[in-house]
Structure 1
Amino acid sequence: MPIPLSVLDLAPIAEGSDAARSFRNSLSLAQHAERLGFRRFWLAEHHGMPGIASAATAVLIGHIAGGTKTIRVGAGGIMLPNHSPLVIAEQFGTLEALYPGRIDLGLGRAPGSDQATARALRRDLSSDPDAFPQDVVELMDFMSDEPRQSVRAVPGRGAKVPVWILGSSHFGAQLAAMLGLPYAFASHFAPTQMMQAISLYRSLFKPSAQLDKPHVMLGFNVFAADTDEEAAVLATSMQQAFVNLRTGRPSQLKPPVPGYLEALPQQARAMLDEVLSCTAIGSPATVREQMRAFVERTGADELMITSQIFDHAARLKSYEIAAQAGGL
């Protein structure tokens, strides 16, 4: 370190709040991140989740980009199987025309929802699971200067929107390497294959018109406060959300509960310890050391910080401490 830092915002809906408040908080966080020197501000596509308000991802990206001046704004990511490549090319071509040089497009192949929600999105659940690479190539062609397809994306053709591949397995690593695209790994909630995926991506990478060498961005949770004890309490909101999600009870982001982790059954505690292993929780000194150790272990080129904290002011402060820890 220092290392470029970015923000992943799930536009959380806190218990007792609503989507409108969530969107105001997201814009406030983006403006805060811009002042602090964060490189990007990404929003993730999820559907049918009571605690996540970023379902209409491209619309929200426009809102955030319109309220900021310099920070890059993008999708982390668009779940491409939910959409036609042409529609995404038009949406992001529109965003790039409105906010030139500031839009990113991260693409994932997960549904971002359960099967019932996927059907409501008009997804064909029997479709070819290997269609994602073809859809990525088709989307990139729609945004190229000279598309091979007869249909034209207007706006979209010639849009200089950087495309990223998102993933949590070897599949995304190989695809990003083959296409010469930057790779964002979801280590903030699915770290199991992280080191193998990084190694595979870097070893197989082929330079492209977009990127001449590998670029790995890793998701990383940060819960930072004045003291280790205060930070540990703040982290319990996200811990509750994750346990609720994994046990089929997705919820709004709940207030922190002191002692929550210690009161969990051993099985739930072990699950949290595994999935949240890429996390820094503590005071400024603790967070600095944990971030440094993570970067040294992984060789990350960039970290994307997510901080699911119930209280908005505490979330802003956590990002401020993360920025200082990362040398921004």
Structure 2
Amino acid sequence: MSISFTIVDVFSKTQFKGNPLAIVDNTADSLSETQMKIISRQFNLSETTFFSPPTVPSATYRLRSFLPDGREVFGAGHNILGVWWWLATAGFLDLSKPNSADKSNGVEEFIFHQQLGDDVLPVKVMRIARDELSSGQTGSMDSPAEISISIRQISPDFYNFHPNPAELAQSFGLTAADIGLSHDVAQNNSSKPLRPQVVSTSTTRHLLVPISSVSALNRASVQRDKLLRQLSIVDNKAYGLYLFTPMPSSPDSRGKAIYQARFFSPGMSGEDPATGSAAGPLSAYLYRHGHLDITGSVGKLTIQQGISVGRECWIDVTLSVTTIGDSEVLNVDLSGGGVKVASGEIALPSIDLHF
């Protein structure tokens, strides 16, 4: 017996770029957790996501994502956004009645809900008229470019700063001078220095590390054992290392801040091409420390990732700031699309197999 799967490159409209994601159709709800882990190990991608009927009535689908090592993760990044892009383009969603429509911009919006662990979170599917798309945004014949997905991450949590940035820098081949933004960027944005800190907008915590230049970012060389030690020093629940640096603005950046980033985790076999569960926290981190401009209570950020592994990805992040009483509430939304690259059937692992 077998079960259907699809491979999607997420955060790109070009096949064989983006962050590859294996998506498995478990709508029959027939797979055990062990079978899901074995299938994820077989694909050996950064994550494999299974979609199935929800166990709570308010959700449209339940999504479960696994790493090749069998660990289940609950972050809302490429593993979630890519599934919803596929559900929308492959006919698994009812797109007959939009929740809202902006005729002037040719955009229809549909709201669905996803079950991720114990959380039920909204998902926005945007269908954009082709004549409203900018040049170069055409997809393949069977993966229309007019579908874009926006997912809401949970409110950000801020954790420890790394106690020894110099040691941290040395662990991946850089120096203390390479940690932090360049003097010019820091002066233009804020007098507050940026220090490596663990931040999360999911159940997954990442260590965010500002790097002084693109050149330094490209020189970084991460080794698993050294990374494990540095993560344990700052937070024993920290999962990954996210290195980032600002890029020059371009005429078509539409007021968004643009950063280039790289992500490493001991649970992954190599460098991750795109990491939504780190891009979301980055927006909140930059805002908290005075490095993200807010216009009308909204800040926008674009992250380029995957360059060093030949998989250029673009992630759009919107940070909304509201005040309730004396408290400030931050909402993080991640946006992007994808492109289908493969589909087929994978054999069902025997129920007698152990992971």
| Larger helix share, 1 or 2 | 1
Tell whether the structures are fold-level matches, with TM greater than 0.5: no
TM-score by length of 2: 0.24
| Larger strand share, 1 or 2 | 2
